Amino acid sequence: MSVRKLKPITSGQRFRVVNGFDAITTDKPEKSLLAPKKRSGGRNSQGKMTIRQVGGGHKKRYRIIDFKRNKAGIPGEVKSIEYDPNRTAFIALLNYQDGEKRYVIAQNGLQVGQNIVSGETGIAPEIGNAMPLSEIPLGTIISCIELRPGQGAVMARSAGAFAQLMARGDKFATVKLPSGETRMILVTCMATIGAISNSDHQLLVSGKAGRSRWLGRRPRVRPVVMNPVDHPMGGGEGKSSGGHPRSRNGIPAKGFRTRSKTKASNKYIVERRKK
């Protein structure tokens, strides 16, 4: 994977840093795994805007991803590594030996022609293979982790993300998550070996406002330039600082903790993420 800095032949390309897409092997998705994706534009059923800064953007089709990896014991050959407009990570098209095709999140280092497999026993801890936390060696870098058995991957799914299996007991495994939080997860939950692909995603530079519009993001007005009726940080004479940073409904930002002290899952958190 690599990034490219473009020559400044236009204002929008002066600071533009693009993905080299070295890992991508095809630009045509598998038609049987595509689904339509409807946009709301931030409007509700009455047509009224209920979410700000949303609207427009290029038309997309959703790629149906296998997050559960429940095709146990059947090897799947990686036919292609593809771009997915709905996520930051790349995806891999698998051809299983029984003829079925599925998309999975591609791990870093996954190659075309490689065979990957998922299952509960007898699976080697190699990149792309999925197995329960009870079968993974301690210290292994993992991703696409379930929170409840059979739920499908919900954690460590974005570009370059990974977690680490730190310890394991009879019922729970201790996992250090990408946020820095250390959490207990049931050992029967599935995880995939390896870090997520496209780790250079964080190095990309948009270059111009229009590129955000292509992604469906409308302009965002800074709170300090609003009026007091619109935001707690609005108002004042001239360029006022705006007071203490806070959200539109008055909740302080920058370090103020909003997590409930009585939340049921608090008992599974060994160490909170850093401020």
Report pLDDT for 85.
Answer: 97
Tell me if 254 is assigned to some domain. Answer: no
**Residue-wise DSSP of the chain:** --EEEPP-SSGGGSS-EEE--TT---SS--GGGEEE----TTB-TTS-B-STTB------EEE-B--S---BT--EEEEEEE--TTSSS-EEEEEETTS-EEEEEPBTT--TT-EE-B-SSS----TT-EEEGGGSPTT-EEESB-SSTTS---BS-STT--EEEEEE-SSEEEEE-TTS-EEEEETTSEEEES-BS-GGGGG-B--SHHHHHHTTB-----GGGS-TTT-TT---SSS---SS-B-TTS-B-SS---S-TT-GGGGGEEEPPP-
Report pLDDT for 64.
Answer: 98
Tell me if 210 is assigned to some domain. Answer: no
> How many domains in the chain?
1
The 10s digit of each residue's pLDDT in 73-101 is 999 999 999 999 999 999 999 999 999 99
**CATH label of the domain that carries residue 110:** 2.40.50.140
Tell me if 64 is assigned to some domain. Answer: yes
The 10s digit of each residue's pLDDT in 226-244 is 999 999 999 999 888 888 9
Tell me if 109 is assigned to some domain. Answer: yes
Report pLDDT for 1.
Answer: 63
The 10s digit of each residue's pLDDT in 11-36 is 999 999 999 999 999 999 999 999 99
Tell me if 113 is assigned to some domain. Answer: yes
Tell me if 67 is assigned to some domain. Answer: yes
Q: Which domain holds residue 129?
A: 3-201
Residue 275 has pLDDT above 80, yes or no: no
